[in-house]
């Protein structure tokens, strides 16, 4: 990765890493970006994330590619099909591979493009928030934000 940008957001600092063609990482984790400059692509992601947090953007449209197995790529692609402002359970999300629910959950946890590849929209079958690399408080914030923007159902998640 040759380029980086950082954004301050309502859920903390977010680092974007990219090469010339693709965004490869959008993360809450601290990353050493010493010597990396922004480029047109990382600036586009910053602008889209700012619009997302303002409630003006529901779908991201920049090129992205993260490293992973064919199975992980399939899981990440399926995450993109979960509509903005909605959630699904791990059981429902893995219904096409019911014996692979743990592998799907593990792939979900290895997603390196936070928010954009919406792994935060997958919750426990009992409706509880479970597992989020960015922390459950961020997952709750993101889900509540999306429900408010989409004007779908309750604006606060009840647990």
CATH number at residue 143: 1.10.10.10
Residue 158 pLDDT:
44
Alpha helices in the chain (DSSP H): 40-54, 70-79, 90-93, 101-109, 136-150
Catalytic residue among 119, 122, 123, 142: 119
Same domain, 49 and 74: no
The pLDDT assigned to 154 comes to 53
pLDDT tens by residue, 11-34 = 999 999 999 999 999 999 989 999
Question: Which pLDDT tens digit goes with each residue over 33-43?
Answer: 999 999 999 99
pLDDT score at 127: 83
Domain boundaries, position 82: 70-150
- In this structure, the answer to whether residues 47 and 106 fall within a common structural domain is no
For residue 153, the model assigns a pLDDT of 57
Based on the residue annotation, tell me whether 2 is a catalytic residue of this protein: no
- Contact by Cβ (8 Å): 6, 15: yes
Position 131 scores a pLDDT of: 83
For residue 37, the SS3 value is: strand
Whether residue 26 contacts residue 60, with contact meaning beta carbons closer than 8 Å, is answered with no
Number of domains composing the chain: 2
**Same domain, residue pair 35 and 105:** no
96 with 127, same domain? yes
Residue ranges of the chain whose pLDDT lies below 70: 1, 98, 153-159
């Amino acid at each position: 990765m040759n380029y980086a940008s950082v954004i301050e957001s309502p859920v903390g600092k977010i680092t974007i890493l990219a090469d010339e063609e693709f965004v490869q990482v959008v993360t809450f984790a601290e990353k050493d970006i010493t010597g990396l400059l922004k480029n047109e692509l990382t600036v586009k992601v910053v602008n889209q994330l700012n619009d997302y947090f303002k409630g003006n953007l529901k779908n991201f449209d920049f090129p992205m590619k993260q490293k992973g197995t064919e199975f992980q790529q399939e899981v990440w692609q399926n995450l993109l099909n979960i509509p903005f402002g909605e959630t699904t359970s791990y059981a429902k999300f893995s219904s096409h591979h019911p014996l692979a629910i743990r592998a799907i959950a593990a792939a979900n946890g290895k997603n390196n493009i936070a928010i954009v590849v919406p792994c935060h929209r997958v919750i426990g079958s009992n409706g509880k928030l479970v597992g989020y690399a960015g922390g459950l408080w961020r997952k709750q914030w993101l889900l509540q934000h999306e429900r408010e923007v989409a004007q779908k159902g309750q604006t606060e998640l009840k647990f």
